[in-house]
Amino acid sequence: MRSPSNTWIIKGRLIKASPRTGMKITIISDTHGGQEALGDLSGDVLIHCGDVETLFQRNPGAIAAMDDWFGRQRFAHILCVGGNHDRAIERGLKSGRAPFRNATFLHDTETVIDGVKFYGTSWIPVLAGHAFFADSDALALAWSRIPDDVDVLITHTPPAEVLDRSSRDETLGCPLLADRLAALQPKLHCFGHVHASRGCRVVGKTTYVNATSVNSSLQMAYPPFEFDLTKTRLKRRRLGWRRLFGG
Q: Coil, helix or strand for 225?
A: strand
Give the per-residue pLDDT at 10: 27
Mean pLDDT score, 187-196: 95
Give the per-residue pLDDT at 232: 60
Task: Please provide residue 58's backbone torsions phi and psi, each rounded to the nearest 5 degrees.
Answer: -70, 120
Percent of the chain at pLDDT above 90? 70
Choose among 219, 220, 223: nearest CA to 211: 223
Report d(CA 189, CA 209) in Å as an integer: 6
For the cut 90, the answer to whether the pLDDT of residue 34 exceeds it is yes
Domain boundaries, the chain: 2-236
Amino acid sitting at position 188? L
Quick one: 246 exposed, middle or buried, by C-beta within 10 A (0-12, 13-18, 19+)? exposed
Residues with Cβ within 8 Å of 112's Cβ and at least 6 positions away in sequence, in order, are: 118
Q: Could you give the dihedral angle defined by the CA atoms of residues 76, 225, 105 and 85, in that order, rounded to the nearest 10 degrees?
A: -150
Correct CATH for 2-236 of 3.40.50.1000, 3.40.1190.20, 2.60.120.260, 3.60.21.10: 3.60.21.10
How many C-beta atoms surround the C-beta of residue 22 within 10 A? 18
- Condensed to tens digits (0 to 9), the pLDDT of residues 85-115 reads 889 999 999 888 889 999 999 999 999 999 9
Choose among 194, 200, 193, 189: nearest CA to 224: 200
For the cut 90, the answer to whether the pLDDT of residue 162 exceeds it is yes
Report d(CA 142, CA 151) in Å as an integer: 17
- Condensed to tens digits (0 to 9), the pLDDT of residues 39-63 reads 999 999 999 999 998 877 777 889 9
Report d(CA 206, CA 186) in Å as an integer: 6
Count the helix, strand and coil residues of the chain and give each as a percent rounded to the nearest 5.
Answer: 20, 30, 55
